[in-house]
Amino acid sequence: MATEFPNIEVWDHLEKALRHSLRWYNPTRGTYDKLFEKTLRERLEKAEARAAITKRRRQNAEAEYAIARTARTSPDERSVGFYRWASLLLDRACDRLDHRTHAFLLMRRSGVTVADIALNLGTTEQSLKNQYGGQKVAMKVKHAVRQMVLELTDWQRRLLVRHLLENVELQREQVQALLGVEIDAEGVPVLPEAWLLKIIGWEKEKTRNLRNVRQLEARTGSMYCNSISSEPFLEECLFH
């Protein structure tokens, strides 16, 4: 019977079904097993109906809330949150790339030309274009971000998605574009960003990434990597 009601916790209803069956059992009307089965099924059907109503009400309330939040939030404010999280994801994805790609990305994010990057890396401009031109670097970054998100537990992913939808106030399409996976935010609370980053284990990633930046600067003798990621480069890496 449990398989007929996958969304209901059968154990929560067993005791009351047993009590009711024992109280009203009459041997002249059939076996006890049939009465118990009938009683339990009725309770599970009612519980399933109540759960469906509760879920529908919650979804309607969340939809209304999302519409209201969207109306209060300007497109510019949502754009800031979108690119801030795109930059955060790119920071963490960089640490998952090979050293050469990492160095290329760090300098490109600071606006360094491909020719100057080739000079710093001791290679030719054409070689870099062959390796990273077109969508090649974008695909590397997207794959790194997607793998990073998939390594989270289902619960952690739901927390992340809910934060992006509720706190950062992004549209579902934007969240899916950022994370590269199917999104779901059911059954988890909305958390402050600092708590979220700690729970999913990303709060220390930035420190490690900054250490890599300083190491790259020391090797190249440059300060190329100090600036914040530009929007056009984020567009190129994550959203095309």
**Is the pLDDT at 94 greater than 70, yes or no?**
yes
Are both 81 and 59 inside the same structural domain? Answer: no
The DSSP letter of residue 118 is H
The domain of 62 spans 7-72
pLDDT of residue 163: 93
Residue 131 lies in a domain: yes
Residue 160 lies in a domain: yes
E strands in 30-105:
none
Residue 207 burial (10 A CB sphere; 0-12, 13-18, 19+): exposed
- Read off the pLDDT of residues 68-93 as tens digits, 9 standing for 90 and up: 555 445 555 567 888 888 888 888 88
Are both 83 and 65 inside the same structural domain? Answer: no
Residue 1 lies in a domain: no
pLDDT of residue 155: 93
pLDDT of residue 2: 62
The residue from 38, 72, 106 where one domain ends is 72
Residue 2 lies in a domain: no
Better pLDDT: 147 or 61: 147
pLDDT of residue 148: 92
Structure tokens at 61: 């309330």
Q: How many domains does the chain have?
A: 2
Q: What is the mean pLDDT of the chain?
A: 77
Are both 162 and 228 inside the same structural domain? Answer: yes
Residue 105 lies in a domain: yes
- Read off the pLDDT of residues 13-65 as tens digits, 9 standing for 90 and up: 778 888 888 887 788 888 888 888 888 888 888 888 888 888 887 777 666 65
**Is the pLDDT at 151 greater than 90, yes or no?**
yes
Length of the chain: 240
The residue from 21, 38, 72 where one domain ends is 72
The residue from 31, 50, 72 where one domain ends is 72
Question: In which band, very low, low, confident or very high, does the pLDDT at 153 lie, cut at 50, 70 and 90?
Answer: very high
**Is the pLDDT at 112 greater than 70, yes or no?**
yes
This prediction's pTM: 0.55
Are both 79 and 184 inside the same structural domain? Answer: yes
Are both 58 and 86 inside the same structural domain? Answer: no
**Is the pLDDT at 159 greater than 90, yes or no?**
yes
Are both 104 and 184 inside the same structural domain? Answer: yes
Question: Roughly how many angstroms between the first and final C-alpha of the chain, as a whole number?
Answer: 49
Q: Are 161 and 184 in contact (CB under 8 A)?
A: yes
Are both 115 and 219 inside the same structural domain? Answer: yes
Are both 142 and 169 inside the same structural domain? Answer: yes
